[in-house]
Amino acid sequence: MRITPMTANAGASVSGIQLAALDDAELEALKRAVYTHGVAVLRSQSLSPEEHIAFAKRWGGIDINNYFPLDGEYPEIAIVRKRADQQTNIGGAWHTDHSYDQVPAMGSILVARVLPPSGGDTLFAHMGAAYDALPDDLKDAVEGLRAFHTADHVYALDGAYAQTDMASELRGQEMKTGATHPVVIRHPRTGRRLLYVNPSFTIHFEGQTREESLPLLQRLYNAAMDEANQCRVVWEPGTVAIWDNRATWHNALNDYPGYAREMHRITLSGEALAA
Ligand code: SIN
């Protein structure tokens, strides 16, 4: 098993293993790579839906997604799909999956099933690197702060997706979500400090309005989006990416008009977050 960093601060290419036939030591090494680098990218994988589910169960618990279409046969698998005739994609802005849950999902295992001839890459940004690189005045400003996260403005019946051609695909639009988390968390497994706010789901700091919160949030986002914190996953048939939601943001690029893209996602259960 070979683990090669993709960039100075984010991502690792992992080769020499098949996810469907990992031994326990390889699984532990892969988990460490994901917790450390934020995302692991594996090529030439052969993973049936049953093997995808079995691998996720070996990693830990599975969170069933409330919004995306589910594979009818396999409810553990959420379909992240854009048809050739659609304009909108799912996840096409920087975000951290499930930050609006009280116990946010640990991460996801995304399997490429249908890809456009080019484009449709996914960007990842490492929030440990983002925190480390903050200037001291920003580190001081976020110390001890907590922030409120929700998905209602994105997925609800009057939310952002409801105005788009993705509206009919989504479920759960009547659900209400909301959770408050520290702005800087410690990674539950590595102990590294991580910036834990994101442009899609973080609304305001605890005790402040949205308007009061926006200037500092925007400074944090601008700093976190620095290309030095990022890596880019270019999908190929057989590519699987496994990422850690606590340690990363991601952004699915929507630059393949007229082509379909379909990914199968299993969301892995997380643990309580703390500063
Ligand atoms: C997502 O989970 O946000 C989608 C990622 C992707 O489709 O690349």
CA of 263 to the centre of ligand 1 (A): 8
Triad 213, 130, 37: Cα angle to 5°: 135
Q: What is the mean pLDDT of each run of 10 residues along the chain (275 residues)?
A: 98 98 97 98 97 97 84 90 95 95 96 98 98 98 97 82 82 85 98 98 98 98 98 98 98 98 97 94
Q: pLDDT value at position 203?
A: 97
What spacing in Å lies between the alpha carbon of 205 and ligand 1's midpoint?
A: 26
pLDDT at 207: 97
Radius of gyration of the chain from its Cα atoms, rounded to whole angstroms: 18
Residue nearest atom 3 of ligand 1, based on CA coordinates: 91
What are the residue boundaries of the structural domains of the chain, listed by start?
2-268
In ligand 1, which atom is closest to the CA atom of 261?
7
pLDDT at position 70: 76
What's residue 154's pLDDT? 79
Q: State how far the alpha carbon of 14 is from the alpha carbons of 29, 50, 237, in Å.
A: 10, 22, 16
Report in angstroms the alpha-carbon separations of 150 from 76, 140, 155, 156, 209. Answer: 23, 25, 10, 10, 14
> CA angle, corner 185, sides to 33 and 137, nearest 5?
115
Q: How far is the CA of 97 from the centre of ligand 1 (A)?
A: 9
The answer to whether the beta carbons of residues 168 and 162 sit under 8 Å apart is no
- Nearest Cα neighbor of 49 from 74, 17, 27, 28 is 74
CA of 208 to the centre of ligand 1 (A): 31
* Atom 7 of ligand 1: nearest residue by CA position: 252
Tell me the CA–centroid distance for residue 120 and ligand 1, in Å. Answer: 10
Helix (H, G, I), strand (E, B) or coil at 123: strand
Look at residue 170 in the predicted model and tell me its pLDDT: 79
The residues pairing with 78 across neighbouring beta strands, listed in sequence order, are: 70, 265
| pLDDT of 200 | 95
**Nearest 5°: phi and psi at 165?**
-80, 10
Query: Pick from 13, 8, 2: which is nearest to 39 by CA?
Result: 13
* CB-based pocket (< 6 A), ligand 1: 80, 90-91, 97, 108, 110, 122, 250, 252, 263, 265
- Pair 135, 234: CB distance under 8 Å: no
pLDDT of residue 67: 79
Token pair belonging to 163: 């105005």
Q: Which atom of ligand 1 is nearest to the CA of 121?
A: 8
CB 213 within 8 A of CB 205: yes
Q: Which architecture, in CATH terms, is 2-268?
A: 4-Layer Sandwich (3.60)
Structure tokens at 94: 């920087």
How many whole angstroms from 217 Cα to the centroid of ligand 1?
A: 23
d(CA 49, CA 114): 14
Give the separation between CA 35 and CA 106, rounded to whole angstroms: 10
Supply the pTM of this predicted model.
Answer: 0.96
| Residues present in the chain in total | 275
Per-residue tokens: 160: 């952002």
Ligand 1 atom, smallest distance to 108 CA: 2
On whether the CB atoms of residues 222 and 113 are closer than 8 A, the answer is: no
